[in-house]
Structure 1
Amino acid sequence: MTVVNTAQSEAWNGYEGRHWASHDARYDAMNGGFNPFVLGVIEPADRVLDIGCGNGQLTRLAARAGRSATGVDLSGPMLATARARAADVPNVGFVQGDAQVHPFETAAYDIAISRFGITFFADPIAAFSNIRRALAPGGRLAFLCMTALRGTDLGAVFDTMVDYLPWPTGDDGTGPTAFADPERTESVLTAAGYTDFACTKVEADQVWGSDVADAAEFISDWGPVRYHMGLAGPDNAAQARQALTEVLQRFVTPSAVALRGQAWLVQANA
């Protein structure tokens, strides 16, 4: 496997990937509410390529919605979980690779999709160009990415910890919020050869835990938060954890701790 995105490969084959793989049901509860927005654009005859497929929930669902689906990801731990979960889905497959340089078969897919898996490319123009080469004539692209987090429920959670930790996502334009600005996203996709750009804001509930203590523990162990807590030292980390516990009280429902999530649904033609 050729990898140019070495830092992300280390993260997703290290703690980050192991955490997602061992908590796949929890991460699917967090992000699965967004699945219908992507599945709704898949046609029955489509051969689907799922970029940054992770534990493979969307890939499995895409295989049922289309003709077949292939998931690609850097993470060995998550792909192991994906393959185990897909044992009863005959028209799905998974490949470990760096989508920026992976030698996809030319024109092998009708649509490339992603659920928050396209934000960490070292060179996004090169990555989307490589993905476009994998698409057949008339092929499409449809992916979900984070909006800016300021003003959202998750942003409110991060705001309560800002006296003790930096914002875990970094500035918009990097990391999880790399495509929070639709104008930047359009410029990247245009440079990569795509046309007919469209960007629609969508919302879904995101379940972070069964109760406040459970949600606070899960968020504290989530890679970006855990990393910054480690840098902040034990005193600041403890205060951040207390602030997190207090703010989560605002999001308690009868069945879970749920935040209203926002995302961009980005679509373009190859």
Structure 2
Amino acid sequence: MKTSEHYAGARGEHYAAQKQSDPLNPGYAIDFAYFRPYLKGTDVVLDFGCGNGGILRLIAQMVQQAEGLEVNAASASIARAQQLTVFSSFDALLHEPRYDVIVSNHVLEHVRDVCSTLEKLRA
């Protein structure tokens, strides 16, 4: 099973309900504190695996532009409900270099081919 399939359909909805239901969870502020020193107000940032947008929402408050990439449709929907820009696949991203910073929190362990994924993010 592909990683994206694991977070799709009924499985994805179950994951979102169990793990992603509260984008205002104070724990996101703790995670965000790790990224904060690396961000500038002029940055354009991608949150790879942004989930429900809990960290992306905080990033968006301090940078020029913040976008997310999330394959779980239910989690992405929660993020979009907060007026966040969230893409659902690499193909949906523009193929021109535009991000100053790419962040990711607790995502790579869910990715089947980490090297290939990192190469796509870097491109």
**TM bin (shorter chain):** 0.7 to 0.9
C-alpha RMSD over aligned residues: 2.4
AA of the residue aligned to 1:7: K
Name the structure with the higher strand share: 1
Which residue of the other structure, out of 91, 94, 98, is the alignment partner of 2:86?
Answer: 94
- What pairs with 1:4-23 in structure 2 (closer than 5 Å)? 7-23=2-18
Contact 2:44 2:98 (C-alpha < 8 Å) held by counterparts = yes
- Return the TM-score normalized by structure 2: 0.82
AA of the residue aligned to 1:118: L
- What pairs with 1:92-171 in structure 2 (closer than 5 Å)? 92-97=84-89, 99=90, 104-133=94-123
* CA distance 1:18–1:27, shift in 2 (3 Å): farther
Deviation at 1:66, TM superposition (A): 0.6
Distance in 2, matches of 1:108 and 1:57, equals 22
Distance in 2, matches of 1:105 and 1:57, equals 26
The CA deviation string for residues 101-120 of structure 1, in whole angstroms up to 9 with x for no partner, is 76542211100001212222
Which residue of the other structure, out of 8, 20, 25, is the alignment partner of 2:22?
Answer: 25
- What pairs with 1:1-270 in structure 2 (closer than 5 Å)? 7-23=2-18, 24-25=21-22, 28-29=25-26, 32-84=29-81, 86-87=82-83, 92-97=84-89, 99=90, 104-133=94-123
Contact 1:39 1:61 (C-alpha < 8 Å) held by counterparts = no
AA of the residue aligned to 1:49: L
Deviation at 1:27, TM superposition (A): 9.1
Q: Secondary structure at the match of 1:60?
A: helix
Give the gaps of 5 or more residues in structure 1.
1-5, 134-270
Q: How many residues align?
A: 121
Deviation at 1:16, TM superposition (A): 4.6
Contact 2:40 2:63 (C-alpha < 8 Å) held by counterparts = yes
AA of the residue aligned to 2:87: V
Q: Secondary structure at the match of 2:107?
A: coil
Higher relative contact order (CA 8 A, sep 6+): 2
Match of 1:167 in 2: none
- Return the TM-score normalized by structure 1: 0.40
Distance in 2, matches of 1:79 and 1:34, equals 19
Distance in 2, matches of 1:107 and 1:122, equals 24
Match of 1:207 in 2: none
Identical-pair percentage? 23
